[in-house]
Structure 1
Amino acid sequence: MTTPQRLEMVRRMQTAIATSYTTLGAWALLHPSSVLSLGFTPQYLALCNVTTSLFVRCWGAQAMTCGLVVGTSKMTPFSFTSFAVAMLPYIGWNFWQGLGPGRDMVTNFIWLDFAGNVFFTFGSLYCANLLREQEEEDKKKDI
């Protein structure tokens, strides 16, 4: 991959991650009842109340903030790697909800969240690798 191709791929991946976070966060912030109705089984949905809606809105605002930071930051190999590592607990949470004791609580839409978290993790690692390759290539040019 050439330098411009690497940098364009990193930019596209960063934009995809940022857009996903910001868009889904805005959805949770602006319409928490639809997020809850799609995400929880009827028996748990019956337990949702104003506080639950507030928590979903807070989660949405936090996701929007994350998306805006990722989208406007100059990401380095370290920051992409850190982001990937930070996604690992969410993947574990998805498994707990989808296959473990939480499986009766959530709908099968949990697997879309899982797929997104895997994309964020491996996409970030891929971007970190592309930027490291770029740094190594730049060092070779300086010698």
Structure 2
Amino acid sequence: MTSATLQRILAAIFIILGTWCMLLPRMVEQLTIRPEHQVLTPASSVFIACFGAQAVLCGAIIWFSKFTPKTFLVFGLLGSIPFFAFNWYFYFVQPIFTKWMLLDLAGNVGILLVGLIGYRISKREHPLG
């Protein structure tokens, strides 16, 4: 596997989940937020769709950028660890999320793994970079 392939996988995580939020925000809210916390208004759909649009933008930037080993490492760490805390807090401490939010957790695990593996592969491919 090449670092370019891993970069495309990383981009796909953002593009796929972001597109889901953009196109089906009400479904996302119904599946990922516990019923007692759901708002299900046009405004809540807009917020979820905006979140999705930002994820798609991030995915597009990842797709068309050239990642260095440092980019993989920083993105892998900063693009996952804070979100692990977010998922943990709103699932276990202040239970707002349903088990469907484990998709987000899986995405964050993917981001971390792609970042770490991409760092190692990219270092081998570009020893001076």
- Same fold, TM exceeding 0.5? yes
Residues 122-137 of structure 1 aligned to structure 2 (within 5 Å): 122-136=113-127
CA distance in 1, matches of 2:15, 2:110: 16
Paired position in structure 1 for 2:89: 96
Paired position in structure 1 for 2:34: 41
Contact kept? 1:97, 1:110, Cα under 8 Å: no
- Tell me how far 1:12 sits from its aligned partner: 2.2
% identity of equivalent residues: 27
Paired position in structure 1 for 2:107: 116
- Tell me how far 1:23 sits from its aligned partner: 1.7
Larger radius of gyration: 1
- Tell me how far 1:34 sits from its aligned partner: 0.7
CA-based RMSD: 1.7
Contact kept? 1:85, 1:121, Cα under 8 Å: yes
| 2:52 paired residue among 43, 60, 73 | 60
- Tell me how far 1:69 sits from its aligned partner: 0.6
**SS of 1:61 mapped into structure 2:** helix
* Structure 1 moving runs of 4+ over 6 Å: none
Q: Quick one: which amino acid aligns to residue 29 of structure 1? A: M
TM-score by length of 2: 0.89
Paired position in structure 1 for 2:16: 23
Q: Deviations over 1:79-115 (max 9, x none)?
A: 11121122211111111122222x2x11111222112
For these two proteins, the number of residue pairs brought into alignment is 128
TM-score by length of 1: 0.81
Q: Give the gaps of 5 or more residues in structure 2.
A: none
